[in-house]
Amino acid sequence: MHELDFINHPVNYGDMTRDAMPVTEERLRDADRSQGTILAAARGEFAEFGLGGARMDRIAERAGLNKRLIYYYFTDKEALFQAVLEQAYRDIREAEQRLNLLELKPAEALRRLVEFTWNYYLDHPEFLTLLNSANLHKARHLQESQRARELNSPLIEMLAQILERGRREGSLRGGVDPLQLYISIAALPYFYLSNNHTLSAIFGRDLMTAKARNERLSHMCDLILGYVLRD
């Protein structure tokens, strides 16, 4: 019997709890698939409506799954939102790892990270809206997540290695805080993209044309490298 049978017909398992159910390879595959489907649907829902406006009924409809299955895996909407945030951070951190920045020269590694961050935000606007929603709720879901801290700390450690190597080689100046540097790398595109509608309106200039985007990326690279490069 598959997990969907358990959700739709729990009486067939008598008094068995989820922990007491026999764990089979097939059941694990079903669970992984279902949780992945739920998380993808929830990510779209939370990105569109925020935590407050998201509805479990719509998430179930998006996923094409029984709503009881969502509660079975994620307990409630708050826990599901936390899981979506964790997955969002895992996705961007894994993509950063694939850049192999430690194999590049320090200045080139930092330029590549700026370029990647900009392009990732452009390609994944839902990531920015999820962060906006998390901040509206004072990031309490991330404060409760040990996994989120585990996912993000290696990035700062990697930046520290790049900065130290650049300092030793003489290409980068010393005394740069890797955390402050990353906050700047993330903040420059985040503010621009999150506020492009208001900025375009008040300055009377379309900031999302191809030309404007290229100019912004060049400007960000100049700012970051201008700060870290040794005179």
**pLDDT 10s digits, 102-125:** 999 999 999 999 999 999 999 999
pLDDT for the residue 81: 96
Question: pLDDT grade, residue 10 (50/70/90)?
Answer: very low
Q: Is residue 114 located within the same domain as residue 211?
A: yes
**pLDDT 10s digits, 172-196:** 999 999 999 999 999 999 999 999 9
pLDDT for the residue 27: 53
The total number of structural domains in the chain stands at 2
Question: pLDDT grade, residue 1 (50/70/90)?
Answer: very low
The CATH number given to whatever domain includes residue 43 is 1.10.10.60
Q: CA 34, CA 8: separation in Å to the nearest integer?
A: 14
Helix and strand element counts for the chain (H, E): 12, 0
**pLDDT 10s digits, 155-175:** 999 999 999 999 999 999 999
Question: pLDDT grade, residue 130 (50/70/90)?
Answer: very high
Residue 11 lies in a domain: no
Q: How far is CA 42 from the centre of its chain?
A: 14
Residue 143 lies in a domain: yes
pLDDT for the residue 144: 84
Average pLDDT for residues 8-19, to the nearest whole number? Answer: 40
CB 173 within 8 A of CB 231: yes
Q: What is the mean pLDDT of the chain?
A: 89
**pLDDT 10s digits, 52-67:** 999 999 999 999 999 9
Q: Is residue 40 located within the same domain as residue 129?
A: no
Strand partners, 172: 229
Residue 212 lies in a domain: yes
Q: Is residue 34 located within the same domain as residue 129?
A: no
Residue 146 lies in a domain: yes
Residue 16 lies in a domain: no
CB 209 within 8 A of CB 102: no
Last residue within a domain, chosen from 74, 95, 113:
74
Residue 84 lies in a domain: yes
Q: Is residue 95 located within the same domain as residue 185?
A: yes
Last residue within a domain, chosen from 74, 91, 107:
74
Question: pLDDT grade, residue 143 (50/70/90)?
Answer: confident
Q: Is residue 29 located within the same domain as residue 140?
A: no
Q: CA 128, CA 184: separation in Å to the nearest integer?
A: 15
| Host H or E run for residue 70 | helix 67-74
pLDDT for the residue 13: 31
Amino acid at 146: Q
Question: Residues with Cβ < 8 Å from 102, sequence gap 6 or more?
Answer: 109, 158, 161, 162
The CATH number given to whatever domain includes residue 110 is 1.10.357.10
Q: Is residue 63 located within the same domain as residue 162?
A: no
More confident residue, 34 or 14: 34
User: Long-range pairs for 137-146 at CB < 8 Å and ≥24 separation?
Assistant: 137/51, 141/78, 141/81, 141/82, 141/85, 142/82, 142/85, 144/82, 145/82, 145/85, 145/86
Q: Is residue 55 located within the same domain as residue 135?
A: no
Could you tell me the residue range of the domain that residue 43 belongs to?
23-74
Q: Is residue 126 located within the same domain as residue 157?
A: yes
Other C-beta atoms closer than 10 Å to the C-beta of 133 total 21
Last residue within a domain, chosen from 74, 92, 115:
74
Q: Is residue 106 located within the same domain as residue 128?
A: yes
End-to-end Cα, the chain, rounded Å: 68
Q: In this model, does residue 126 exceed pLDDT 90?
A: yes
Q: Is residue 66 located within the same domain as residue 118?
A: no
DSSP secondary structure code for residue 23 in this structure: P
| Host H or E run for residue 141 | helix 140-143
Q: Is residue 198 located within the same domain as residue 145?
A: yes
pLDDT for the residue 153: 86
